[in-house]
Amino acid sequence: MREPRPEDVPKPGPWLRAADGEVLLPSQDGKESASALLTADGRVLRVDANYADVLGVNALPDLGTSWPDTLPAMLIETGRQMFDELTGAERVDRIVPLLASDLRWARLRLRRVQDLEGTALVLVQVDDLTSPDRASLVAQVIRDPLTGVFNRRALEELLALPGRWTERYTGVLAVDVRRFRRVNDVWGRAVGDACLAEVARWLDSLTADNDVLIRLADAEFLVLLSQSSPVPQALTDRPSRTVTVGEHAVQLSLQAGLASSGPLPELAARAEMALSEAKRSGWRTVVAWSGSLAEAADRAARTEEAVQQAVASRAETVHFQPLLDVVAGRVIGVEALVRLGGAAAGVPASQILQASHRLGLTPALARRVYRQALRDGLRLREVFPDCQLAVNVSREFLSTGLAVDTLLAAVAESGVPSREVTLEITEDVATGLSAQLLQTELAKAAAAGLAIAVDDFGRGETSLALLRMLPLAAIKLDRSLLPTSGDDQPGWDFVAGAVALLSRITPVLVAEGVETAEQSSRLVELGVARQQGFLFGMPAPAEHWLTHPVAFPPPEPE
């Protein structure tokens, strides 16, 4: 390397021609653009005097140097790729980050040209795109037009840099505006846009010099954090602001996910994962990424994928489990339980329901399951006459307001009398569902003749207030309350107490999860003759029950 000399200054004047015949004008000297002329095999013939300045390298290259080696170290590989691409193209154009003392951006253009003698050459043009004031369309490729901060494309270029260049970013903060959709819905897009520009200014005002602010999408931003960046602490201390747009005062509140230590691409992904957790929690402001978050997210993603595949391939089946009156000695009901095969085999029902709800698959899946349950339920009446057919309705499906109509349609279509159908809800419907929706839906079901049972009582958020409000036909005591050993006196005292209360507030009390003859007879002693559990039969397809009797009466305990 050496200092520039006057003869290095090229005059890539009208003697250069592009393939399309265009005559290229001399390049302009300045801080923002420079050019170099290369032989067809990529050796430097001439360079502009400002070539080194624009690229941020120390000195002008020697003539004859292979062109990629004239670039800053982080771009040498990119330069080689570009030159290779030029073999099959007239021109190659890229926007690349330059991480010198601060973050800069350049556009590199390679173009095949000829001089007047017809010698094939390559013209390199370098434009500095760093200044946010540059209004050119090219500069906009890496900037978000609304807020002026860097965009997703800029992030991708940075993530593509070899790791050691991005080590200066020791953390990533993913930021989102709480319930931003509502701002758009309530005040309109124009106000929403103004708020986003304000959020960008707000975040920018918190950043340190070497932090990089990026808008990813909608109201989501990423901050690449330099060592000891003040942004995470500043947001933790003060996550809300009132923004005035015209005559509207909009309260904006931020949530964030923080990832620290690791390579940049991982940091970015982890920060977003932590942000999702913050949003799921609702109340948390800054959530730090951890390994257990990743495991949970991974599991949830695998479940969703499996459920999606299974529902798409209609891999659902309906199993039935009998419910007995062990004193009267007869089967008084069967409960229909959905099972997913294929990729989702073995996933617990509660997870299937939540995943299918998140994926928007519940209405279609439920319609098919209810139809199947009722069609099979009709056939089971041959072996189990005078039985209630119980169908589970999830809280998630109830929340759509479609559940009862869907079930009633399936009942009507099947020919099973509606008074022989029980709708089972879990007591957790008390949380996360409006009391009004719940009452309307269940009143509709009751009016159509369905019996309503509360399932898994005692496991979740037990609400006596809810029980009082519902048109209740039965309560099923959750299996977690059943002691596994006859010696567990406190456990059995607890069951006795629960039974004393529940038998006064429900016409029918059922014990679930009965697995041993001892449990069964203790329950009978406590006055609970209606029982369901593995002791009498595992959930099985209708075919099984059409050909196999129920294990009844259960063997007496020794």
Query: What is the contact mask toward Mn ion in residues 448 to 467, using x (rule: CB under 5 A)?
Result: -------x------------
| Structure token pair of residue 25 | 């004008």
Q: How far is the CB of 429 from ligand G (least distance, A)?
A: 13
SS3 471: coil
Query: What is the contact mask toward Mn ion in residues 377 to 396, using x (rule: CB under 5 A)?
Result: ---------------x----
Distances (CA, A) of 223 to 212, 261, 268: 6, 14, 9
| Residue 152 half-sphere exposure toward CB, CA atoms < 13 A | 5
Instruction: Return phi, psi of residue 472, to 5°.
Output: -95, 130
Question: Which is closer to ligand G, CB of 170 or CB of 463?
Answer: 463
Q: How far is the CB of 241 from ligand G (least distance, A)?
A: 45
Question: Which is closer to Mn ion, CB of 293 or CB of 323?
Answer: 323
Q: How far is the CB of 412 from Mn ion (least distance, A)?
A: 22
Neighbours of 260 (CB within 10 A): 15
Q: How far is the CB of 512 from ligand G (least distance, A)?
A: 5
Position 512 contacts Mn ion (CB under 5 A):
no
Q: Is there a contact between 523 and 503 (Cβ–Cβ < 8 Å)?
A: no
Question: Which is closer to ligand G, CB of 277 or CB of 512?
Answer: 512
User: Out of ligand G, Mn ion, none, which partner does residue 477 contact, by CB within 5 to 8 A per kind?
Assistant: none
Residue 525, C-beta contacts closer than 8 angstroms, at least 6 positions apart: none
Across-strand partners of 541?
319
Alpha-carbon span 363 to 403, nearest angstrom: 8
Q: Identity (one letter) of the amino acid at 110?
A: L
User: Out of Mn ion, ligand G, none, which partner does residue 229 contact, by CB within 5 to 8 A per kind?
Assistant: none
Alpha helices, DSSP H, located in 15-56: 51-55
Question: Which is closer to ligand G, CB of 447 or CB of 538?
Answer: 538
Question: Which listed residue (424, 427, 428, 441) binds Mn ion by CB under 5 A?
Answer: 424
Enumerate binding residues for ligand G (CB under 6 A).
Answer: 321, 337, 349, 392, 455-456, 479, 512-515, 533-534, 539
Q: How far is the CB of 474 from ligand G (least distance, A)?
A: 12
SS3 132: coil
Q: DSSP strand E in 326-376: where?
A: 330-340
Question: Which is closer to ligand G, CB of 113 or CB of 475?
Answer: 475
Across-strand partners of 259?
172
Question: Which is closer to Mn ion, CB of 194 or CB of 423?
Answer: 423
Question: Which is closer to Mn ion, CB of 294 or CB of 349?
Answer: 349
Residue number with the shortest CB distance to ligand G? 533
Alpha-carbon span 44 to 55, nearest angstrom: 15
Residues that bind Mn ion (CB under 5 A): 392, 424, 455
